[in-house]
Amino acid sequence: MIFLTIGTLDPFDRLVRMVDELAGTGSMPSEVLAQIGISTYQPKHIRWVSVLEKNEFDRIFEESDFVISHAGMGSILTAVSRRKPMIVVPRLKQYGEHVNNHQLDTARRFEEMGVVLTANTSSELREKVRTIDSFRPRWPESTRTNLMSRIRCYLETIQKEKEGSL
């Protein structure tokens, strides 16, 4: 099973639609279950719910073969802590999905670290889904502390870049 989660606070119709359309063309290797939050697009080819209870979310996350998600830190950290392969699609400012492109920066950085795969378009997502079985995430070598340290360093870098551009 593939688990699609977009968070629960903001809609992400573009991603829900991409996954639904790929499922409709047979481009998904297995059944998809989606938690779509307050998205207005209602999928036609995948099973979906608005919100899952935490225990159910955890169970489905654990049972899934891989996860497709927005590039939210919570989702990425959950995948890392559970060693779950993940494809992230960042929310983009140009589509009114976020106030800035920080998810694009987050996705790029975690892809550079070898932790996730990133897709920005439907064709990129189709390709990443096709190759996910051969993706070997580079999980942080040591404890969660190591990952948190790397994330803190990354966030400090972003903050310094913002301060430099003001």
pLDDT confidence bin for 165, thresholds 50/70/90:
low
Instruction: Tell me whether residue 152 is in a domain.
Output: no
Q: How confident is the model at residue 154 (pLDDT cuts 50, 70, 90)?
A: confident
pLDDT mean over 28-52: 96
**Whole-structure pTM value:** 0.84
Number of folded domains that form the chain: 1
Lowest-confidence range among 59-63, 90-94, 114-118, 141-145? 141-145
Residue 112 or residue 143, greater confidence: 112
Position 156 scores a pLDDT of 79
Residue 151 lies in a domain: no
Q: Judge residue 124's burial from the number of C-beta atoms within 10 Å of its C-beta, 0-12 exposed, 13-18 middle, 19 or more buried.
A: middle
pLDDT beyond 70 at 147:
no
What's the CATH code of the domain at 77?
A: 3.40.50.2000
User: Would residue 148 count as lying in a domain?
Assistant: no
User: Residue 141's pLDDT band (boundaries 50, 70, 90)?
Assistant: low
Query: Domain for residue 84, yes or no?
Result: yes
- Domain containing 44 equals 2-139
Does residue 147 lie within any of the structural domains?
Answer: no
Output the pLDDT for position 146.
65
Q: Tell me the mean pLDDT in the region 41-58.
A: 96
Residue at 87 is within a domain: yes
Residue 139 has pLDDT above 60, yes or no: yes
Residue 142 has pLDDT above 60, yes or no: no
Alpha-carbon distances of 15 from 2, 58, 71, 85, 97, rounded to whole Å: 14, 21, 11, 18, 10
